[in-house]
Amino acid sequence: MKTLIKMSFMVMITIIAFTSCKKDTRALDLTVAPVTTLNAPTDNASINLQPTTGPSIVFNWNASTTQDLVLYEVAFDKAGGDFSKPVYKVLSDGSGVQAQATITQKQLNAIASMAGIAASSTGSLKWAVIVSKATNAKLSTTSHTLQLTRPAGFAVLPDSLYLTGSATEHGTDAAKAIAFKKTADGVFELYTSLQAGTYSLIDKTTGTPTTYSIQNNINVVLNGSTTVTGNNAVYRISIDLTNAAATLTQIVSVGFWSAPDGKIWFTLPYIGNSQWELDNWPLVIPQESYGADSRYKYQFTVMNSAGVQSTEWYGSINSDNPDPSSTTPASYWYMYLVDNSQFNFCFKILPADNNKNVNVNVNFSPGLPNYNNTISLH
């Protein structure tokens, strides 16, 4: 009897469960109500873009009246576009669930570029909101126009930059292009020599790179190449893609400057690959009344594009240093731009190297964590 009751109970539970499942089975409602009101930025709003310093812009709208969870995207299109193929879409805040999207001015600058607005100019684009649930999506019933003024410079900044061409140390093979040192977003620097020929800047050494060229020694533009005439010379090439600027500074000479003597002992020849080196120098540390004084730094004689020469001083980050030893860290020899004071911010020579022939090297290779100098036995 107990067995029969138990079996009947199990059958009843199964029937209830099956019936409950049938009651919960229903078609998924994919109905989507479009957004009907855009709040900000207001229609025809004007924004003078400041990609690096400007605050983010909040786009917001009245939420869709659709039941259940929906996703929002802000769609951007050219002034004459219909959003059938928007130039860019941005998911709203909260991974797409909030009725607002916070967009940086850096992003807006890139979007403006995609919409055909050139650098250093003003143009219009439109924005609207796409609301979706599953595979069903609806465009807002209205759109707003934005007037955007772009700064000089490129909207999309590469992470890397390379120098290639017949005027360069590594020739025209892009795979062997010379890397720049990245000093900030969109800002690059390279110490190298240029000879008669042409060169370009590229953002990668494989595939199809974006190509840039320098015009009139001051502007960077897309595509093209730069022609070099005259004799081989060493330059510091400074590139700032955030404002499409270039500065070519010729490195006329690099001098080893002795602090106790107050003069340049010798100049270092440029040996290629961003380095200057003098080999087999007979080193004699000056003996002063207070003892041996090996303090030194480097005097760079540089020349701008107008032919005006000036000096730059490179030395230690410390205003005063102890004598180095065999255990002195590599950072002791890092090179920094310093003042022209006679005895401050100087390096010192390893005492054991006195009265020996040495090799003196200044290395501004872009792959180094810091530019440095070394004095080693020949």
pLDDT at 243 over 80: yes
Name the amino acid, one letter, at 16. I
Q: Any idea which residue has 């020949």 for tokens? A: 378
The encoded tokens of residue 129 equal 């909101």
Which pLDDT value is given to residue 7? 47
Q: 148 near 122, Cβ under 8 Å?
A: yes
The encoded tokens of residue 6 equal 């138990």
User: 46-89, pLDDT tens digit by residue?
Assistant: 999 988 788 999 999 999 999 889 999 999 999 999 999 999 99
Tell me the three state secondary structure of residue 66.
Answer: coil
pLDDT at 364 over 70: yes
Please list the alpha-helical segments (H only) found in the chain: 2-24, 93-96, 105-114
Say how far apart CA 131 and CA 99 lie, in whole Å.
Answer: 10
Per-residue pLDDT band at 156 (split at 50, 70, 90): confident
What is the DSSP secondary-structure string of 95-152? Answer: HHTSSEEEE-HHHHHHHHHHTTPPTTSEEEEEEEEEEEETTEEEE-S--EEEEEEPPS
Give the CA diameter of the chain.
119
pLDDT at 142 over 90: yes
Average pLDDT over residues 223-244: 95
How much is the mean pLDDT over the chain?
92
| CA distance readout (Å), 189 to 181, 184, 244, 299, 300 | 5, 10, 14, 19, 16
Sign of CA dihedral 143, 149, 153, 157: negative
Average pLDDT over residues 206-214: 96
pLDDT at 193 over 80: yes
Per-residue pLDDT band at 12 (split at 50, 70, 90): very low
